[in-house]
Amino acid sequence: MQNRCISTNCGILSASSVVGALEKSGPLGSFFDLHSADDKFGQKTWEKAEAEMQRLAFNTALAKGELQEGDLDAIFAGDLLNQCVGAAYGLKDFNLPYFGLYGACSTAAEGLILSSLLVSGGMVRRAMAVASSHNCTAERQYRSPIEYGAQRTPTAQWTVTGAGAFVVGESERSLALIKGVMPGVVIEKGIRDAANMGAAMAPAAADTLLRFFDATGKSPDDFDLIATGDLGYEGGDILCELMSLEGMDIRRVYNDCGMMIYSRDTQDTHAGGSGCGCSAAVLASYLLPKLASGALRRVLVMGTGAMMSPQSIQQGECIPAIAHLVCLTAKEEEEWKLC
Amino acid sequence: MQNRCISTNCGILSASSVVGALEKSGPLGSFFDLHSADDKFGQKTWEKAEAEMQRLAFNTALAKGELQEGDLDAIFAGDLLNQCVGAAYGLKDFNLPYFGLYGACSTAAEGLILSSLLVSGGMVRRAMAVASSHNCTAERQYRSPIEYGAQRTPTAQWTVTGAGAFVVGESERSLALIKGVMPGVVIEKGIRDAANMGAAMAPAAADTLLRFFDATGKSPDDFDLIATGDLGYEGGDILCELMSLEGMDIRRVYNDCGMMIYSRDTQDTHAGGSGCGCSAAVLASYLLPKLASGALRRVLVMGTGAMMSPQSIQQGECIPAIAHLVCLTAKEEEEWKLC
């Protein structure tokens, strides 16, 4: 599998996004389904707010797809919180087989990969992939509570308050087709700066992308868009550079969900957005409708994750990273073969 | 899928176990592959020791199966540490597609389920499922560092220092067959006592078991052993009671890996063992060889997990739990149909 792109025969039937106030006021604000003006979603703690975002995203994706809970056979979900309690608590009232994932910020893509493999294999009819992050839960868990007002470095990214949910199922009814998937390999290149996740994750993204082109015989020109999850400005630049060194220019079709979700001019988020919710919300709300309308025809989405913990960094470890790839096309590309 | 047992057509080709000193001196001590007399495995921190246990378990399972890294197509791994760094760091040097899981103490079973679904579906040739826990990492993360000598309640369980790894692949060469799987549903019945995980997890185990018998038409009498992962004495009792109330007596064939791994007479672990490594090490070292020899013919293994975090408990939440079921048989039972 390592050098093999796995063909899948399924699609995304429905998707939803839930975001916070900063994301709502950003360039993609009008595309998101739900938001909370105070980022609390009616809850008393940030962690409960994040769980509520998962619940809302799940329910909204079901409703938008005109589906019932009983139409699903499995949930794949995760988040950045210790013990992934955003997903566990947010989705505990749904009476469905539950697979908890930890892929750091690559979780949405990891869930999409596993959902599409099980749907394509006929083991489940439909599965829901859900992922979330919340700026205030992430800041206090990974760095320090936002009330401390800690100064951020230029390479630091801003954890997105956002959640996305995706129903994966039969290709006939879908908004976009999932043509194939390529799971990531853990890559660690010596980066220790937890305020520069982009640099830690870019080599993993390059690794997956190179393996993908090698396995499929495709090139960047075959795609309208190659979107990474949350490399941000710093990591995105490094990825393009790494690809150039391998003789592949991706700049023409490259973008990053962490660069799309905030305005660089008016929203000071330093190196861009990050977090499980970044790629999940941008894919669900912005990219998927473009695939559904045919405005985008062939898209590679790569969820990127940094797999360290605050404790592993304190103990002097480097940051291992991973990038999971999902190849999506418009329905018009039904005949187009990936691998 | 919720009320469906999914048939699988694969087996466990090889398995390994790595444990600490207390586990080595327990009743199953002679069955484990590797151990460390000081629980440190040559590392400077407990977290690095746990990562090293994952690495050792992975390598040992490969070696015992006379396999190379390139014979595998995927890794499914997780642990109890924040951000699952035991698995991420322990396995980062293996150049293989990596799926990070968080299923609390059900992680080994979750990994076995996903491995067997992908192998049976032909998407991967072979996959490795790995899970670990370490008493000293878990105590300081979930409760308090062991140096504090905090007093434990009678229902508290002892986190196993252990790791287990399983190669899932073609049934022909396997030690035991994986006949079918039934993923768990998240169940929460109002238990808030983090020192009584058994009580929180027992209803989830009962739910999965009842759905399994309902879906397959089988009964407890069809099996030599029904083994839960880590309900311990307290939770195991509650499970048997809950099953009795539904008219099913499982006591004759019931056991729990957390009750097997320590001696109740000579090792004071209160309500028994727990942790991802508990079911992983007991299954790999003790149950699987009995299936391979035919001493056990039909076994249900249920990984049980409590999905809370210290923070969710502090915020007044209850403990959601899950139980993932894997149905294993000896090769002599090849003709026996599960579902």
Find the residue in B nearest to A6 (Cα): B123
pLDDT at B66: 97
User: Which amino acid, A338?
Assistant: L
Q: Contact B68/B74 with Cβ under 8 angstroms?
A: no
Convert the pLDDT of each residue in A140-159 to its tens digit.
999 989 899 899 999 999 99
A99/B183 CB distance under 8 A = yes
pLDDT at A79: 98
ipTM: 0.98
d(Cα B186, Cα B194) in Å, to the nearest integer? Answer: 17
Strands (E), A59-209: 74-79, 98-100, 127-133, 158-159, 162-169, 176-182
Question: Which fold does the domain B9-169 belong to in CATH?
Answer: Peroxisomal Thiolase; Chain A, domain 1 (3.40.47)
Longest dimension (CA), chain A: 55
Beta bridge mates, B74: B127
d(Cα A29, Cα B167) in Å, to the nearest integer? Answer: 46
Stretch A315-332: mean pLDDT: 98
pLDDT at A339: 78
State how far residue B25 is from chain A, nearest Cα, in angstroms.
30
Pick B101's closest partner by Cβ from A73, A95, A101: A101
Stretch A220-237: mean pLDDT: 98
Say if residue A2's pLDDT is above 80: no
Of A324, A338, A339, the C-alpha closest to A111 is A324
Q: Contact A126/A168 with Cβ under 8 angstroms?
A: yes
Of B333, B305, B295, the C-alpha closest to B113 is B305
CATH number of A176-333: 3.40.47.40
Q: Is residue B119 classed as helix, strand or coil in its secondary structure?
A: helix
Say if residue A269's pLDDT is above 70: yes
Strand A34-35 and strand A6-19: the pairing is parallel
pLDDT at B302: 98
State how far residue B308 is from chain A, nearest Cα, in angstroms.
6
Sequence-ordered list of residues with C-beta below 8 angstroms from that of B305, at least 6 positions apart, any chain: B103, B104, B105, B106, B107, B110, B184, B201, B204, B229, B321, B322, B323, B324
Stretch B113-135: mean pLDDT: 97
CA B150 to chain centroid? 27
pLDDT at A4: 79
Best of A50, A81, A85, A211 to disrupt the B interface by mutation (most B CBs within 10 Å)?
A85
Average pLDDT, chain B: 97
Find the residue in A nearest to B113 (Cα): A99
**Helix ranges restricted to H, A229-309:** 232-245, 257-260, 276-282, 288-293
pLDDT at B9: 95
Say if residue B174's pLDDT is above 60: yes
Convert the pLDDT of each residue in A214-225 to its tens digit.
999 999 999 999
Would you give the DSSP letter of residue A156? Answer: -
Convert the pLDDT of each residue in B240-252 to its tens digit.
999 999 999 999 9
pLDDT at A174: 97
State how far residue A27 is from chain B, nearest Cα, in angstroms.
31
The dihedral built from the CA positions of residue A45, A49, A52 and A58, taken in this order, carries a sign that is negative
State how far residue B266 is from chain A, nearest Cα, in angstroms.
33
Helices A107-120 and B107-120: angle between axes, nearest 10 degrees: 50
d(Cα B199, Cα A209) in Å, to the nearest integer? Answer: 46
Best of B4, B76, B102 to disrupt the A interface by mutation (most A CBs within 10 Å)?
B102
pTM over 0.95: yes
Convert the pLDDT of each residue in B130-158 to its tens digit.
999 999 999 999 998 989 989 999 999 99
Task: Tell me, yes or no, if the two domains A9-169 and A176-333 fold the same way.
Answer: yes
Say if residue A1's pLDDT is above 60: no
Convert the pLDDT of each residue in B197-229 to its tens digit.
999 999 999 999 999 999 999 999 999 999 999
Domain ranges of chain A: 9-169, 176-333
Sequence-ordered list of residues with C-beta below 8 angstroms from that of A28, at least 6 positions apart, any chain: A260, A261, A282, A285, A286
pLDDT confidence bin for A243, thresholds 50/70/90: very high
Pick B2's closest partner by Cβ from A73, A122, A308: A73
The dihedral built from the CA positions of residue B83, B55, A107 and A75, taken in this order, carries a sign that is negative
Strand B225-228 and strand B298-306: the pairing is parallel
d(Cα B86, Cα B72) in Å, to the nearest integer? Answer: 20
Find the residue in A nearest to B140 (Cα): A311
d(Cα B15, Cα A334) in Å, to the nearest integer? Answer: 42
Chains A and B form CB pairs within 8 A to the count of: 186
| Portion of chain B with pLDDT greater than 90, in percent | 96
Convert the pLDDT of each residue in B37-95 to its tens digit.
999 999 999 999 999 999 999 999 999 999 999 999 999 999 999 999 999 999 999 99
Say if residue B1's pLDDT is above 60: no
Stretch B120-138: mean pLDDT: 97
Convert the pLDDT of each residue in A41-80 to its tens digit.
999 999 999 999 999 999 999 999 999 999 999 999 999 9
Stretch B263-278: mean pLDDT: 96
Pick A83's closest partner by Cβ from B74, B104, B185: B104
Residue with tokens 């699988």, as numbered in its chain: B8
Stretch A284-301: mean pLDDT: 98
User: Which amino acid, A305?
Assistant: G
Pick A315's closest partner by Cβ from B48, B188, B309: B48
Convert the pLDDT of each residue in A157-213 to its tens digit.
999 999 999 999 999 999 999 999 999 999 999 999 999 999 999 999 999 999 999
Average pLDDT, chain A: 97
State how far residue A230 is from chain B, nearest Cα, in angstroms.
18
B312/A78 CB distance under 8 A = no
Pick A96's closest partner by Cβ from B2, B89, B123: B2
Best of B45, B207, B312, B314 to disrupt the A interface by mutation (most A CBs within 10 Å)?
B312
pLDDT at B281: 98
